[in-house]
Amino acid sequence: MIGLRRLLPALAGLAFALHAAAASAQGEAYPNKPVSIVVSYPAGGPVDALARLLAQSLQKQFGQPFVVENRPGAAGVIGHSYVSRAAPNGYTLLFAADPVQTILPHFQTISNYDPLKDYTPIGTLVDSVFGIFVNQDSKIKSLSDLIAAAKANPGQLKYGSAGIGSGNQLVTMLLEQKTGTKMLHVPFSGGAPANLALLSGSVDFMIISISSVLDQIEAGKLKALAVASAQRQKSLPNVPTADEAGVKDYTASSWFGLQGPPGLPPAIVATLNDAMKKALKDPDFASATAKLGYSPEVGAPETMKQRIDTSYKLWGDLVKAANQNATK
């Protein structure tokens, strides 16, 4: 009996600890310690800047540190792989990038994670719309000029990209498909050297996210021929859409948002998704994202999952068709 009396308080303490752990797992009192947001791109770029803006807003809302942790490398695989193996407790999150999950797997075998299964969607934050750009000194003055030049010189008009399997390559392949053209792909080791090639005129054009080149546009170094969106962009109000410029149904954008490891509790997902929506209602946050050239759009977790599945199939079918054509 004495042993049982001694055991009862211990059992009660264990039950309380288990209850507290379960409550925490269900999102109660979350967060109660620092949260890491993993970014699979280097510090200092537009994606990193966006992640830091979100981290500041979340820290302000929750009163807990949200720390951006840069884990670049292998075209984003290192950061994404790291989060896929993290504990599903809400304290390690991924600032997810559309191209790493929906494009890259079609160009290289990724054994570290399953892009469709190894994450818990929390919500998209912004869309990064692509635009078609040339050097300011280029003789190509419009999208019609570009298409005409490509048709007159099949396989000779050069376009740059951040590498094989990058978003730049895929959206240009989509343009080729839409216009019945064939152009020459010049891959670089990343976005920075590809942008330099565009600025120097080493490549004829490049399709790149608007957010990546706003500074060069404002400095008069690049000219936008069209934006790949259904409506004109606030950051480039005088630039026509591809549809207005003569290429029908050509839209291309990448999303960025939050995801967690597989098995992240629904209560934590809902808490973070609500906080993302509140962030976009903050005038300072909205203004800062607009200056970076992003279009804000917080989607529900289910909507994010649908976008991932749809984009994965779209780019997969495009790559398969291109490979089949190349072997004919």
In this prediction, residue 265 carries a pLDDT of: 97
Q: For the whole model, what pTM was predicted?
A: 0.80
Q: Which CATH superfamily is domain 19-128+254-318 in?
A: Bordetella uptake gene, domain 1 (3.40.190.150)
Residue 25 confidence class, pLDDT cut points 50, 70, 90: very low
Domains of the chain, by residue range, sit at 19-128+254-318, 129-252
pLDDT the model gives residue 18: 41
Query: What would the pLDDT profile of 175-203 be if each residue is shown by its tens digit?
Result: 999 999 999 999 988 888 999 999 999 99
Give me the CATH code for the 129-252 domain, please: 3.40.190.10
pLDDT of residue 144: 97
Whether 19-128+254-318 and 129-252 share one fold: the answer is yes
pLDDT for position 327: 55
| pLDDT attached to residue 296 | 83
pLDDT in tens, 60-113: 999 999 999 999 888 788 999 999 999 999 999 999 988 888 988 888 777 788
pLDDT at 148: 97
Q: Are 224 and 131 in contact (CB under 8 A)?
A: yes
Q: What is the pLDDT of residue 199?
A: 95
